[in-house]
Amino acid sequence: MSAAPEYRVWALPGIPEVRPGDDLAKIIAGAALGEGLPGLADGDVLVVTSKILSKAEGRILAAEDREAAIDAETVRLVARRGTLRVVENRLGLVMAAAGVDASNTRAGTVLLLPEDPDASARRIREGLREALGVDVGVVVTDTAGRPWRKGVTDFAIGAAGVRVADDLRGGVDAYGNPLVATVVATVDELAAAGDLVKGKAGGLPVAVVRGLPHVVTDDADEEGACWLVRPAVDDMFRLGTSEAVKEAVSLRRTVREFTDDPVDPGAVRRAVAAAVTAPAPHHTTPWRFVLLESEESRTRLLDAMRDAWIADLRADGLSEDRIARRVRRGDVLRKAPYLAVPCLVTDGAHAYPDARRAAAEREMFVVAAGAAVQNFLVTLASERLGSAWVSSTMFCPEVVREVLALPEGWDPMGAVAIGRPAASPPARPARDAEPFVTVR
């Protein structure tokens, strides 16, 4: 019968106050040889708090520079609540205040994270091999909160000589079920184990984990803890709620060139669900969305609209050449793999005997339709779908109703071309809101 798996973890006493320029490998080696300690052995893992690396590397600033330091370390705002900022820092880590910390440092100073924690871990590992002749793994840690969970925990921001993750994909569990998504963040589990004995205020910045030699590696190509930073394209929780809304609004651009990729009908329906939360007069629901999911339905509608448009242009006296150019410019709807036709239904409108109030009543409903379409477009953008809202159906409502077999009271409010953008749109120029504001 094989022995049950086990490991030991202990804090390493005797680490003095670290100052800029100190050789941490020598300091740790000296502490490991302290009286009554088991020393270090091949296969051990050292779990080292990043604070002492920051001090040794001179990553110390005066406290009055804290906000400026956070700004300098920030590459992207993730969420802001009052004065608290959760940001992505230059290391790609998402943390409160970019990891700029005022704890475990002299009053009046703050600590920045090491510039390259993986390189810092390699230097400690190489220094310990030179000083003690041992091959150990090194994990550099910091503390952060986690989405959906109260409290903080230590996690790895740097690593050397340690298998960063255990990729179990392609294997099976104890019941023979295939593992398709399981990648264990080994260095994060080591970081948390070390923190249980180091603590946050005990002056014990280094822990030793023994009994897990299989996680220690001499593979020169082993990636550091930076491998665990999730790429933006795979990050489903990249922003806080209010920030996500702002980004979705900024992503909402008119797209006129689409790929041939099919559009997920579920994504469009989620956009409709957002659209129908728009404000509307008299507690009505004056919106309908006709979704043209088949190529046949799109072609039939667009052909009929083109014929009606050509007839109108001929009635305006335009030459055939000018008509052809106009029609070509309107081909954005044909380029899209999916169309939606938002319609306005005013059966809940109040009847007024005079034209002035009747016109104002209809305008209220048209405004509500615009609000719904804006919700629709913004939600499509959040689904990474491009769109173009084109007014053409408004010029031939009878044709649209006939081709799509819609009730007489449904007024088409343009058409929305939907698809995956063929290219990233150019950056939106900054627009100052003040010229659009009047204060009384």
**Residue 231: per-residue pLDDT:** 84
User: Bridge partners of 345?
Assistant: 410
Is 420 in contact with 386 (CB distance < 8 Å)?
yes
137-146 vs 45-49, strand pairing mode: parallel
Amino acid at 235: D
Helix (H) or strand (E) holding 138: strand 137-146
Q: Which three-class secondary structure state does DSSP give residue 101?
A: strand
Q: Distance between CA atoms of 264 and 270, rounded to whole angstroms?
A: 10
What sign does the CA torsion over 62, 67, 73, 78 have? positive
**Residue 21: per-residue pLDDT:** 94
| Pick from 57, 156, 59: nearest CA to 111 | 59
**Residue 303: per-residue pLDDT:** 92
**Residue 135: per-residue pLDDT:** 94
Is 344 in contact with 366 (CB distance < 8 Å)?
yes
Each domain of the chain, given as residue ranges in start order, spans 8-59+114-234, 241-436
Q: Which three-class secondary structure state does DSSP give residue 271?
A: helix
Q: Tokens standing for 222?
A: 């082993």
pLDDT, tens digit, 9 for 90 and up, residues 19-78: 999 999 999 999 998 878 888 999 999 999 999 999 999 999 887 778 888 888 999 888
DSSP codes, 39-73: ---TT-EEEEEHHHHHHHTT-EEEGGGHHHHHHHH
Angstrom CA distances, 383 to 74, 151, 232, 253, stand at: 26, 31, 14, 13
For 126-134, which contacts have Cβ atoms below 8 Å and span 24 or more sequence positions?
Answer: 126/25, 127/23, 127/24, 127/25, 127/26, 127/29, 128/25, 128/28, 128/29, 128/40, 128/46, 130/25, 131/25, 131/26, 131/29, 132/29, 132/32, 132/33, 132/39, 132/40, 134/40, 134/41, 134/42, 134/44
Q: Which three-class secondary structure state does DSSP give residue 351?
A: coil
Angstrom CA distances, 104 to 52, 69, 110, 129, 437, stand at: 9, 17, 9, 28, 48
Query: 241-436 in CATH: which number?
Result: 3.40.109.10
Angstrom CA distances, 269 to 168, 264, 265, 370, stand at: 36, 9, 6, 18
Is 179 in contact with 171 (CB distance < 8 Å)?
yes
Those residues of the chain that have pLDDT short of 50 are none
Q: Distance between CA atoms of 35 and 118, rounded to whole angstroms?
A: 31
Q: Is 394 exposed, middle or buried (0-12, 13-18, 19+ CB in 10 A)?
A: middle
For 49-87, b/e burial (b = at least 16 CB within 10 A) is bbbbbbbbbebebeeeebeebbeebbeeebbeeeeebbb
The predicted model scores a pTM of 0.68
Amino acid at 315: A
User: Domain 8-59+114-234's class?
Assistant: alpha beta
Is 155 in contact with 91 (CB distance < 8 Å)?
no
| Pick from 287, 302, 298: nearest CA to 409 | 287
Chain position carrying tokens 């009384």: 440
Q: Distance between CA atoms of 197 and 46, rounded to whole angstroms?
A: 12
